[in-house]
Amino acid sequence: MEYRPDANGEEVDRWKEVTLVYNSALKEVGTKLEILNDEFQHVHQYNPIEHIKSRLKSPESIVQKLRSKGYESTIENMVEYVNDIAGVRVICSFTSDIYRIAEMITEQNDLTVLSVKDYFQNPKESGYKSYHLLVTVPVFLSNRVVDVKVEIQIRTVAMDFWASLEHKIRYKYAGNAPEHIRKALVRCASMVSNLDDEMLALNREIQRLEEEEKRDKNKD
């Protein structure tokens, strides 16, 4: 059942209900990710997830997004047309972890994937890289079960560092940053990409050496 706010309630109560439901969806997704990470550690002795960040979009940002799309600032439009009210950011060490984590998420039977945006393979013009999943997660209320949209972003530590600065600059200049700053961000994005590639290669080399050591010990 797709989530719909109570049409008969007072505006303040309706907003409280929306906040409650989206916060609950964040808890559901966060718990799932923590369990998957713990299981991966148990099976493979490795944690693909460094840390998890969750956030609810601010009312100001929601209104701004609705206006940019040409919609009135109503709670109904917010729920219908703003897909990233509830956001979860999954930070991993290596680029190889991105698709591993995405696969673990999509294999959850009670999550429904609505869309995928792979900015890792197809970066934005700014240099932005990340992997976005829009999913619905069931939230169990006292009188019904509702499916709530959550956007999950998966990126490396280096990508997240770059994206955090880019986000601040974009909002500071309302999307019209000076040309030299935009060019510097693109250069930094290229450096981040190269760093991720180097770190992945280094990690694989370490793993290869560890496997050789194990084989040598077994021979002895």
How, if at all, do strands 86-92 and 145-156 pair?
A: parallel
| Residue of 151, 179, 198, 210 marked active site | 151
Residues 6+ apart with CB under 8 A from 33: 49, 52, 88, 90, 105
Please provide the distance, in angstroms rounded to a whole number, between the alpha carbons at the two ends of the chain: 61
34 is catalytic: no
Spatial strand order in the sheet of 86-92 = 49-56, 86-92, 145-156, 131-140, 112-118
Helix (H, G, I), strand (E, B) or coil at 106: helix
Q: What are 14's strand-pairing partners?
A: none
Structural contact between residues 192 and 169, judged by C-beta atoms closer than 8 angstroms: no
Beta strands in the chain, from DSSP E residues, in sequence order: 49-56, 86-92, 112-118, 131-140, 145-156
30-56 as b/e, with b when 16 or more CB fall inside 10 Å? bebbeebbeebeeeeeeebbeebebeb
**Token pair recorded at residue 31:** 């718990």
Residues annotated as catalytic (active site), given as ranges: 151
